[in-house]
Amino acid sequence: MNVASSMLLSPNDPALRSWVESANDASGDFPLQNLPLGVVEDGPAVRIGERVLCLRDALDADLFVKKLASNDEFLMALDVGWLNGIAELDPLAQSMMRENIAAMLVHGSPVRTKVERLLRDANDCEPTAPFVVGDYTDFYASLSHATNVGSMFRPTNPLLPNWKHVPIGYHGRASSIVASGAPIRRPKGQTVASDDGPPTFGPSKLMDYELEVGFFVGRANELGDTIPVADAWNRIFGFVLVNDWSARDIQKWEYQPLGPFLAKNFATTVSPWVVLRQALEPFRVPGPPRSAEDPQVLSYLADPLGTNVDITLEVLIASRDMRDKGTAPTLVSRGSFRDMFWTPAQMLAHHASNGCNMEVGDLLASGTVSGPTKESRGCLLERTWRGTEPITLGDGTERKFLADGDEVIMRGFCEREGHPRIGFGECRGVIMPASA
């Protein structure tokens, strides 16, 4: 008998609590209302507090409702070592799975004993990158970031005339997307001592991070078709933190006329737990108001929902010496995703507006998330203003850009009165020396 045959429960109810005690920690990232998905050594899994439940284990223990347990597409999705199969399920099956998992983990669940035997300590799991990503596109959607960077290189004309009309982006390299914790090798490339060259080839001296939020496409469109902006939010599967590592000296020499290339394609780190779109519903906020001087967006980008998400974002840095001595990492940036000028729906709709076929599992990233204050700037290029205003780490050393051995730690979370905190966990990476 399937003891969970009638067990479905909406996890967005803020009053719900889990029998997994660590999930009820008010300062934790993974309450019952979150239930983010990731991939561990045995396949797709869900995070609850400081524990992890492999979905295949739950299926084998007869914990899914019959309608799911007899769904061939659901069964195949659990046998795939990535989340692509789950993202391809129809929305009803996805919702049923989330509600079924919530019913297993809610306080008073009749299947607690069976589930408890299956839970693993999160520290014993090694999550991988959650999707097989066919394509990766990085946007440039923060007004503060675009203005700051523009003012460094074009003081009299920081924002190019197209920026407020069109979401600017470039195609990144999907093959170099790595999971949180993967070491990042300092890249080599052409750099110049002066704007006119000549170039030399060698390790980048100006390594930087970029604090971003990414989202995975959950519903595809056919080649030649578009995605209406009003439908775009519902086509997003879930969100992650993204570190778009950047070699600023290589970028300076190569970016004209076609934009970023080798300065960014050597590594992009994503956080391991995908926070589903449904879990972020309580934290949706209107897109930023536009001033009277701002241009009206073209009709295909007029987002009736205007949905941004209020995600607090932090960047911390720990040198090798700090880690060896147990010194806490230094907080160097704190901002919010709600400050973005272009919304996720606008980014996705624009990407498909020319008939580009978006595939399930494609990753779109926001570009550097920066706010109006110095402390909310989302990369060292801005935070140290091209190295002219170094930051001091907890061990007393200064940084203009990243040194070998530095670990960059990104965190994100949503908070709202009356709702449990929804977190993204961490996105980590340590800079390793360039190859010989």
Give the count of beta carbons closer than 10 Å to the beta carbon of residue 99.
18
CA distance 337 to 288: 11
> Are the C-beta atoms of 408 and 317 separated by less than 8 Å?
yes
Strands (E), 133-264: 136-139, 169-171, 177-179, 184-185, 188-192, 199-203, 207-208, 211-217, 236-243, 246-247
Kindly report the pTM of this predicted structure. Answer: 0.96
Task: Choose among 196, 167, 213: nearest CA to 364.
Answer: 213
Residues belonging to the active site: 145
> What domains appear along the chain, each with residue ranges and CATH number?
21-124 (2.30.30.230), 136-432 (3.90.850.10)
∠ CA 332-338-344, nearest 5°, is 115
Give CA torsion, residues 424, 217, 355, 143, to 10 deg.
-10
DSSP secondary structure string, 324-367? HHTPPPEEEEEEEGGG-SS-HHHHHHHHTTTS----TT-EEE--
**Exposed, middle or buried by CB within 10 Å (0-12, 13-18, 19+), for 38?**
buried
Task: Choose among 56, 68, 62: nearest CA to 92.
Answer: 68
Three-class SS state of 211: strand
Per-residue confidence (pLDDT) for residue 82, from 0 to 100:
95
Per-residue confidence (pLDDT) for residue 6, from 0 to 100:
54
Residues of the chain under the 70 pLDDT cut? 1-6
Per-residue confidence (pLDDT) for residue 156, from 0 to 100:
84
Task: Choose among 101, 102, 60: nearest CA to 78.
Answer: 60
